[in-house]
């Protein structure tokens, strides 16, 4: 199966050592899991939609691809100009609802015999809620694909150095990694933020406002991020708007229980855990975060790790993904 994989280079071109976000990590997983993946870099910030779309379609046709796997919802990757592709498109949507037009994108792709997959039932429920608000048709998709899996050899549990840690892009709107520092300000807790050096203005300003904090590490490669996160007693997922939670899985895979920042008492990463005892929900509160940390202090880290590896194996993820590819290609071939 030959896969054409468009890659949005707004954080930089594909690099095997540095991963800036969840979608980028997902693309890396596709490359690492399947044998015949070909990347086409797309500059969504500077090139026109038509130019980018033509580049994707031409690239897929030139390499004789069996499928295009698209992971960004912007028009360059999933818009009206790409649905006439001669190669079937499998759109894996990773984000929560922000624009009503995404509902139209999903419908248009499926009407043209392409496919759309979400990463969680929580994500789809939020889209159904939005569809009701804007009086749109029910959001129909082809299924779900987990955002990530556990990979490599199961790591040994490490000695604890931090009370709570988080991983997140230096973003003031969605990820907000320095929320951990704000919530634990003035306490005795040893916290750690792992983030990136920002490139765009709003993220640079966010970093400037938070440059006074200690316990911040920048631009680690992925393997070093994993070595570091296992040294924390708990992991705080600062983004309430996650559609799945790759970093939550990474923490759990190292035996680290997770704390989920929520707006309504629910969070997409609840579906990741092997047991309800492996996580806590907090509602944008310093006091609740502290209480959650303390309640997880005696967690059975080995049980957390073992149950996570059982639930999220590479074999299960690859089978799920392969079935989605096959289904997409077969449905497309049936098109008159």
pLDDT at residue 70, rounded to an integer: 97
pLDDT grade for 151, boundaries at 50, 70 and 90:
confident
pLDDT grade for 19, boundaries at 50, 70 and 90:
low
- Secondary structure element (H or E) that encloses residue 130, with its range: helix 121-133
- Whether 266 contacts 289, CB under 8 Å: no
The distance of Cα 335 from the centroid of its chain, to the nearest Å, equals 32
- pLDDT tens profile 107-122: 999 999 999 999 999 9
DSSP 195-233: E----SHHHHHHHHHTTT-SSEEE---HHHHHHHHTTEE
Q: Domain 3-149+314-333 classified CATH 3.40.50.2000? A: yes
- pLDDT tens profile 287-328: 999 999 999 999 999 999 999 999 999 999 999 999 999 999
pLDDT at residue 265, rounded to an integer: 92
Contacts of 129-135 with CB under 8 Å at 24 or more apart are 129/97, 130/97, 130/100, 130/103, 131/103, 134/100, 134/103
Provide the whole-model pTM. 0.82
Tokens of 290: 């502290």
Backbone angles phi and psi of 246, in degrees to 5:
-65, -45
Higher pLDDT, 14 or 127: 127
Eight-class DSSP state of 289 = H
Eight-class DSSP state of 271 = G
Spatial CB neighbours of 309, under 8 Å, sequence gap ≥ 6:
150, 154, 253
Q: In the CATH scheme, what is the code of domain 162-311?
A: 3.40.50.2000
Do you know the residue count of the chain? 336
pLDDT at residue 165, rounded to an integer: 98
Spatial CB neighbours of 213, under 8 Å, sequence gap ≥ 6:
178, 181, 193
Rounded CA separation 318/50 (Å):
33
Rounded CA separation 210/206 (Å):
7
Spatial CB neighbours of 110, under 8 Å, sequence gap ≥ 6:
116, 140, 141, 142
DSSP 42-87: E-TTTS-HHHHHHHHHHHHHHTT-SEEEE---SHHHHSTTTTT-SS
- pLDDT tens profile 26-44: 999 999 999 999 999 998 8
Tokens of 168: 């997140």
> Greatest CA separation found in the chain?
66
> Where are the domains positioned within the chain?
3-149+314-333, 162-311
pLDDT at residue 138, rounded to an integer: 86
pLDDT grade for 135, boundaries at 50, 70 and 90:
confident
Mean pLDDT of 153-160: 95
Of all residues in the chain, what percent carry a pLDDT higher than 90?
Answer: 80
- pLDDT tens profile 86-101: 999 999 999 887 666 8
pLDDT at residue 18, rounded to an integer: 64
Equal CATH topology for 3-149+314-333 and 162-311: yes
Q: Considering only 67-71, 231-235, 260-264, which range has the smallest mean pLDDT? A: 260-264
DSSP 38-54: EEEEE-TTTS-HHHHHH
Distances from the Cα of 230 to the Cαs of 83, 155, 289, 328, in angstroms?
43, 9, 19, 38
Q: Where are the beta strands (DSSP E) in the chain?
A: 3-8, 37-42, 67-70, 89-92, 115-118, 143-144, 162-167, 191-195, 216-218, 232-237, 258-261, 279-282
């Amino acid at each position: 199966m030959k896969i054409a994989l468009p890659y949005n280079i707004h954080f930089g071109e594909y690099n095997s050592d540095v991963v800036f976000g969840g979608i980028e990590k997902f693309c890396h997983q596709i490359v690492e899991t399947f044998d015949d993946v070909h990347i086409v870099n797309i500059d969504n910030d500077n090139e026109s939609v038509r130019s980018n779309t033509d580049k994707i379609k031409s690239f897929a046709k030139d390499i004789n691809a069996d499928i295009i796997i698209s992971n960004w919802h912007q028009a360059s990757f999933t818009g009206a100009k790409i649905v006439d592709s001669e190669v079937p498109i499998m759109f894996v949507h990773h984000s929560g609802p922000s624009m009503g037009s995404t509902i139209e994108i999903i419908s248009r792709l499926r009407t043209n015999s392409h496919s759309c997959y979400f990463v969680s039932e929580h994500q789809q429920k939020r889209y159904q809620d939005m569809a009701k608000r804007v009086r749109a048709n029910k959001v129909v998709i082809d299924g779900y694909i987990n955002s990530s899996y556990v990979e490599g050899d199961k790591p040994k549990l490490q000695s604890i150095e931090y009370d709570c840690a988080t991983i997140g892009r230096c973003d003031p709107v969605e990820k907000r990694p320095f929320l951990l520092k704000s919530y634990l300000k003035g306490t005795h807790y040893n916290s750690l933020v792992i983030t990136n050096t920002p490139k765009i203005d709003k993220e640079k300003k966010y970093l400037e406002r938070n440059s006074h904090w200690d316990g911040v590490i920048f631009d680690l490669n992925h393997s070093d991020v994993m070595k570091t996160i296992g040294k924390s007693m708990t992991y705080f997922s600062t983004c309430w708007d996650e559609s799945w939670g790759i970093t939550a899985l990474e923490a759990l895979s190292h035996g680290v229980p997770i704390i989920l920042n929520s707006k309504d008492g629910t969070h997409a990463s609840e579906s990741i855990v092997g047991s309800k005892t492996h996580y806590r929900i907090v509602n944008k509160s310093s006091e609740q975060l502290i209480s959650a940390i303390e309640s997880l202090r005696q967690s059975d880290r080995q049980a957390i790790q073992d149950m996570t590896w059982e639930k999220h194996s590479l074999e299960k993820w690859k089978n799920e993904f392969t079935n989605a590819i096959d289904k997409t290609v077969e449905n497309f071939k049936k098109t008159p």
